[in-house]
Amino acid sequence: MYSAKVMDHFTNPRNVGEMPDADGIGTEGNPVCGDVMKIYIKVNDDKITDAKFQTFGCGAAIAVSSMVTEMAKGMTLDEALKITKASLAEALDGLPPQKMHCSNLGADALHKAIEDYRNKQK
């Protein structure tokens, strides 16, 4: 069902956990639907220096969270805003069709975290 890459990121997720001193936090999804992602970022000089996540959800949701935090680290905020559902799925060697929309909330959560950070800067 899942690609080897998804299984790897699901069974050994990177960047798990809360980040008490996060500069931005974004949450997407709803437990009623089965998937919630919470993304924390640390920002320095417009760059994401660290990212963490907490996720309630299925294998795909956890793998997507792991992957999106990996990808975001080291990116500028503008670069990170270009991460999409499609690019995440691609980085994971694909996702089953029924998971594309429900469980692939990583980009949205990340974008919300960036928004949160920017709002705080104002």
Partner 1 sequence: MKKIYLDHVATNPLHPEVLDAMLPYFKEHYGNPLSIYEPGMKAREAIENARESAAALINAKPKEIIFTASGAESNNFALKGIAYAGQGKGKHIIVSRIEHHSILNTARFLEKAGFAVTYLPVDKNGAVNPVDVDKAITKETILISIIHASPEIGTIEPVAEIGQIARENGIIFHTDAVSSVGNIPVDVQSLNADLLSFAAHQFYGPKGAAALYVKEGIRIVPLIYGGIQEGGRRAGTENVPAIVGMGKAAELAKRDMQKRIDHISPLRDKLIGNALKTDKVLLTGHPEKRLPNHASFVVEYIEGEAMLLLLAAKGIYSASGSACSSKALKASPVLISIGVPAHLAQGSVVFTLGEETTEDDINYFNETFPQIISRLREISPYAKGWEGMEGSACTAQK
Q: What residue ranges bind partner 1 (CB under 8 A)?
A: 1-2, 7, 10-11, 13, 16-17, 27, 29-36, 38, 53-62, 98, 101-103
The angle at the Cα of 111, spanning 3 to 45, to the nearest 5 degrees, equals 110
- For partner 1, which is the closer residue by CB, 59 or 80? 59
Q: Is residue 77 within 8 Å of 48, Cβ to Cβ? A: yes
- For partner 1, which is the closer residue by CB, 58 or 81? 58
- For partner 1, which is the closer residue by CB, 46 or 93? 93
Q: For the CB of residue 95, give the shortest distance to partner 1 in the complex, in Å.
A: 12
Question: What are phi and psi for residue 24, nearest 5 degrees?
Answer: -150, 145
Q: For the CB of residue 4, give the shortest distance to partner 1 in the complex, in Å.
A: 13
Helix H or strand E segment including 63? helix 59-72
Q: Are strands 24-30 and 35-44 parallel, antiparallel or unpaired?
A: antiparallel
Annotated catalytic sites, by residue? 33, 102
Question: What are phi and psi for residue 117, nearest 5 degrees?
Answer: -60, -50
Q: For the CB of residue 54, give the shortest distance to partner 1 in the complex, in Å.
A: 4
